[in-house]
Structure 1
Amino acid sequence: MLGDVLGTLLIHGDREEPEKRTAPAVWDANRLRIATEAAGVALWSWNVDTDAIYMDERAHGLWGVPLGPVTFEDLSAHIHPEDLDRVRAAFASTREVLGAYEIDFRILHGKEVRWVSARGRGDDQGIVGRLMFGVFLDVTERKMAEEAREMIAGEMGHRVKNLFTIASALTVISERSTSTTKEMSKDLRLRLAALDRAHDLVRPVLGDPKRAAQLGDLLAVLLAPYAGGGLDGERVRIDVPELLVGEASATTLALVVHELATNSIKYGSLSTATGTLDVSCVGDDHGAAVTWRERGGPEVSPPNGHAGFGSRLMTNAVAGQLGGTIVFEWLSEGVTVVLRTSRARLGG
């Protein structure tokens, strides 16, 4: 039905004299179907009097609803709850819209979330009888690419802010642990050089073979800039077994360690002269658990509200790249963080 109507519109919509045509009228219903299938376009029509919505097979497959007429209420059961009110308001106002409109929203197809773009024309433009026409496009890949770009941009901005925070905090630590400007300058240069070495250690180099590092060596290099006089015995203590960390996992682990260290020098145990940090690891042939334990800093209170970008970044990185989990325990004497991952993923 829908293909026939649209095919008729495209064939007879041009009322120019035959001699003025620049191309033959080849767009019958069958050829229209070939074009829409090639473009991944799903078709719909809406009866403005009965509210019945007729869709082609592609649209039914996209929405995951049985063949046959449906209503907006039938489709709304498949719209993501966070988008439903926005889509409902847009649907109610489509006939008042001047010209073309489009709205992007998420739908739930079983356990899968898809992004759909609904497009049509308002102000009763193109109405045939009492039917309005439009299309659905599956824009999931485009939306995922946009979200990935936004995540990368957000991560870059977040890391730049962290670098300024780290530089400022290292300056304070150096000032606290030295007595002259010359000593402070030297100490700060050493700390910044250690930070640079940590970056080089985990930065992938094109053309190099896959590298692996001992977990203890990696943590020592990553945490050296924040130690108040040395590792293993003073402010920062590391006690981990021999465990290889692959290049890809090392990058993720470095991101998490830098985020935790940044938070610590801003709010936690490394923000005071007497605070300490203990990093340990236990594991077997199957899994490993790295524990980050802060003590001696300001009294800790659990964060209020939604998790910040840094927390989401760590959670996503650990889950996505290490296939593990990261859990925070907000004890008054200091935060404890436990990162769990499979041994195979850590060494991959």
Structure 2
Amino acid sequence: MSVSSGEGQSRFAQGRLADPKSVGKPVQPEHDAAAFLAAIVESSEDAIVSKSLSGIITTWNKGAERLFGYTAEEAIGQPITIVIPDDRLDEEPAILARIRAGERVDHFETVRRHKDGSLIDISLTISPIGDGNGKVIGASKIARNISERKRAAEHQELLLREMHHRVKNLFAITSGLIGLAARSAQTPADLATRMRDRLMALSRAHEMTLPALGHQDRVGDRQATLFQLLSNILAPYGQEGSDQWQLYGRDVEISREKITNLALLFHEFATNAAKYGALSIEDGRLSITVTIEGEAVNIVWLESNSPPQDGAERGATGFGARLEQIMGQSLNLNITREWLPDGLCIRLSAPFDAIGG
């Protein structure tokens, strides 16, 4: 902890190396030990900062320059509050009170501000710095950027919520498929065959949106075209060209890393159509048209002969809307809806290189 202060470094080095008998060989000179410790601090990937008990910055390493954007010349002599957002200023007095009491603060997760005004998620470890008599004269801080970890945790939470959401939807779709199949099946065996075929098709569409459990055949390694993806997702509602749904226009190859997000997005559209829209009744119709205009891919999802519906029923609010927003942003998609007298028209537009292979 004392490596963050020049005075502290000297005393730390002197205290550790003063007795040659303790190591059985000559001691490295004090200034060499101090220089060695200073080099460790300076080359650290973490931000290592020291401050006085009044909150004034006294040392600032290269890691701090990278993390917060201020050079050592800009930061030293300034209050530590230059990197603390206004809504976090109450943390500093509480931290200083603990340091004055000789306490250490371990892995305190908080938010700090970069020179450009952006916010950074960090983990702080704060230790008191003492003089030769043990009196606390300042504090050293080690800050680590955990923004990437936080984003990964948030993404994992989203995926878990999405999985829960999708499993519920799969049950709802299965119930709807049973109802549709029961109206047209001639015998129990016919019903069983129809349901088995549709559920297997639904399973294949579901599988495309998930990585395999093994190391082989992962989603990121697969190739697919947009029509193949749509056909897999819509297969439970009949074959392409049937009365229920049709694909028109130009097929495009999907970029490997975009398969999952596109599958999730169209799965959400199909789920809503199967629960409330054109795929929920026998007379409903769905057409999907893909065109390329210049550098843009345009997709029109058109439902007709649908039962009466509104935005609340079709996932315009709640988790479905959140998922659609996130997937749309990740794909750089512009998504608009138009409610028609007998259905719904969803228009999607994106730069070709945002989804194309």
TM-score after normalising by structure 2: 0.73
* 1:62 aligned to which of 56, 67, 75: 67
**1:102-251 to 2 correspondences below 5 Å:** 102-106=107-111, 107-110=113-116, 114-121=120-127, 128=135, 130-178=137-185, 180-198=187-205, 206=217, 211-213=223-225, 215-227=226-238, 231-232=240-241, 234-236=243-245, 238-246=246-254, 248=256, 249-251=258-260
* Partner AA of 2:234 in structure 1: L
Contact 1:99 1:121 in 2 (8 A): yes
- 1:340 is displaced (CA, Å) by 1.6
Partner of residue 297 from structure 1, selected from 289, 297, 307: 307
Instruction: Give 1:298 deviation, angstroms.
Output: 3.9
Out of 332, 335, 356, which is 1:347 matched to?
Answer: 356
Query: Aligned in 2, Cα 1:200/1:185: closer, same or farther, shift over 3 Å?
Result: same
The 1:221–1:18 alpha-carbon spacing in structure 2 relative to 1, beyond 3 Å, is closer
Instruction: Provide the identity percentage.
Output: 24
Q: Which amino acid aligns with 2:231?
A: A
Question: Which residue, 40, 54, 57 being the options, matches 1:53?
Answer: 57
Cα deviation code 1:291-320 (max 9, x no counterpart): 223342342135899964444444444443
The answer to whether the aligner puts 1:259 opposite 2:268 as a matched pair is yes
- For the residues of structure 1 that align with 2:338 and 2:176, how far apart are their CA atoms? 22
Residue deviations 1:218-242 (CA, integer Å, cap 9, x gap): 4334212135xx6546333x24213
SS at match of 2:12: helix
Task: State how far apart, in whole Å, the 2-side matches of 1:281 and 1:91 are.
Answer: 56
Residue by residue over 1:169-207, the C-alpha shift from the partner in whole angstroms, topping out at 9 and shown as x without a partner, is 323332344354333212111211322444577889749
Gaps of 5+ in 2: none
For residues 350 and 89 of structure 2, what CA distance do their matches in structure 1 show? 43
Distance 1:304 1:30, change over 3 A: farther
Shift of 1:256: 1.8
Aligned AA (1:300): D
**Residues 28-74 of structure 1: CA distance to partner in whole angstroms, max 9, x if unpaired?**
432122222343232223333x4323341422442123233222442
C-alpha displacement at 1:160, in angstroms?
A: 3.9
Q: Cα 1:218–1:147, aligned 2, differ >3 Å: closer, same or farther? A: closer
| Partners of 1:271 and 1:68 in 2: CA distance | 67
C-alpha RMSD of matched pairs (Å): 4.2
The residue type equivalent to 2:235 in the other structure is A
Asked if the contact 1:302–1:330 (Cα under 8 Å) also holds between the matched residues in 2, the reply is no
Structure 1 residue ranges without an equivalent (≥5):
none
SS of match in other structure, 2:55: coil
Give 2:9's match in structure 1, choosing from 3, 7, 10: 7
SS in 1 for 2:345: strand
Q: Distance in 2 between matches of 1:151 and 1:340?
A: 24
CA gap 1:305/1:156 in 2 versus in 1, 3 angstroms: closer
Where does residue 49 of structure 2 map in the other structure? 44
Matches of 1:30 and 1:306, distance apart in 2:
62
Corresponding pairs, count: 333
TM-score by structure 1 length? 0.74
Judging changes above 3 Å, is the alpha-carbon distance between structure 1 residues 304 and 105 closer, same or farther for their aligned structure 2 residues?
farther
Q: Secondary structure at the match of 2:89?
A: helix
| CA distance in 2: counterparts of 1:108 and 1:275, whole angstroms | 54
Q: Which residue of 2 aligns with 1:283?
A: 292
Distance 1:306 1:136 in 2: 41
- Tell me if the contact between 2:56 and 2:77 (Cα under 8 Å) persists in the aligned partners: yes
